[in-house]
Structure 1
């Protein structure tokens, strides 16, 4: 069986009742997020993991501490796996940005790949930050690898591997606590993935 790369999104966080832009803001797991991490622990209980890599943001660290507790390995923190930097939009609600910065809000919807909020990153910039680290991670071992990161990070990795244009990355659902299984089809020399949980 080919080795697998398990690309996981951290558990749920509290970000208020309104939908907000949360990127590098360092929020901990909430109770539901911890329960999701325990569900992940159960999922991985019978899966051999050679190495684990995590975003250093607390929500990923907390998820990894629960998931890896019985694995005998620690997550290696990789700064490049931090979530997208949303600059001046960090922590603000979608409704606030839409009402106060309608042109910027509209541009992000149209130019999902290249628009960056003031002081922040675009998804193109995020992908340029993440992919060299991802390449080093997959070269680090021939065994199964666990990566615990964020919705944006996971989407830019998957989009590159399956050649999905970045403008379409929101078509890749990334629920809290989801598991994406990445594997190389050696016959066709291309990456495949499936999302479970």
Structure 2
């Protein structure tokens, strides 16, 4: 009889930025590393004979909680991956709700008919996860194994062990990041669940699900709201951009220091010309304008830096936990271009923004002079993979 601890990866970019990450390779968040430390403590005194994970960065990194402390080799298997979602990969959840709502409802309810171009069905995930557990057990008879996988893949396996078909999974629970499911597999390949989705090692302050309601309630909450992004046309929507810039300036500097809206708009127009589809984006909540993200795709490109001249949330959406999704859009724009760092500027006395950027991994790397001679901090955040992990 083989015992398998099946563990979901720590909090990753998709969880934080509210984007769809199946086979997309994403980084662990700062909070995710705190979860990994807590997971390590949980397993410090539990004997483990072997460690497996999917071949994605977020699972391989989470697996360090066990294989490094137990002096074991990490074995990677593509069949432990999350459900593949093809053309949905790295799309904001809000965009899918806006453009592909019917299929998103099918995904949310584990419909047997659900599939997107280039992606998998729930039945296919059930089949490969069951086969993976049986193969691992066959390789490690009468041993204890830790295996690291993903939320929907683990849920599919739990359903399969219960004999539930896709479409019958709605009543099953959801695993927190680093949640642990334990199962046994006998010599005949019969799987039995011992316990599921246990996250007792996580203090509430680092739990991902503790700050979200979507998984336990149908009540709406702005903290759970998903934005989507569309190009902001600087030729026809220039006044909207000017208004956002003016509002942001007044909020930071008050009325004593005049805002040169024309100069800001000309700079945005310069960026927009670089790529009208990506450089200046409107953040949307449903059909409502919620913010602006401006990116300069050329500045500092030779240094591998993605520069963000302007991040803006409309007043009614500030301090609601939504702004980080704009950072996620910037990551998803710059990473495919080979950029390994994000860079932006922030007024040193803008306490709200300084705390926001620090919370999400930005650190001060210098000082520059902004418009009107205003001193600004230069902040950066890494978005690249370590070379050793990129090659795996």
Q: How does 1:174-193 map to 2 (within 5 A)?
A: 174-183=175-184, 191-193=192-194
Matched, 1:149 2:149: yes
Consecutive unaligned residues of structure 1, counting only runs of 5 or more, are none
Per-residue Cα deviation, 1:88-142 (whole angstroms, up to 9, x for no partner): 1111122211211233233434552331122211111222233222211011111
* Higher RCO (C-alpha under 8 Å, 6+ residues apart): 1
Aligned Cα root-mean-square deviation (Å): 2.3
1:29 Cα offset (Å):
0.8
Consecutive unaligned residues of structure 2, counting only runs of 5 or more, are 200-392
CA distance in 2, matches of 1:10, 1:58: 9
1:147 Cα offset (Å):
0.5
CA distance in 1, matches of 2:79, 2:46: 26
1:183 Cα offset (Å):
3.1
SS in structure 1 at match of 2:168: helix
- Match of residue 194 from structure 1: 195
CA distance in 2, matches of 1:185, 1:58: 30
- Match of residue 6 from structure 1: 5
- Match of residue 79 from structure 1: 78
Matched, 1:112 2:111: yes
CA distance in 1, matches of 2:75, 2:85: 24
Structure with the higher strand share, 1 or 2: 2
Which consecutive aligned stretches of 4+ in structure 1 deviate over 6 angstroms post-superposition?
A: none
Query: TM-score, normalising length from structure 1?
Result: 0.87
Q: How many residue pairs align between the two structures?
A: 194
Deviates more, 1:122-131 or 1:29-38: 122-131
Per-residue Cα deviation, 1:143-178 (whole angstroms, up to 9, x for no partner): 111101111221122211122332233523111010
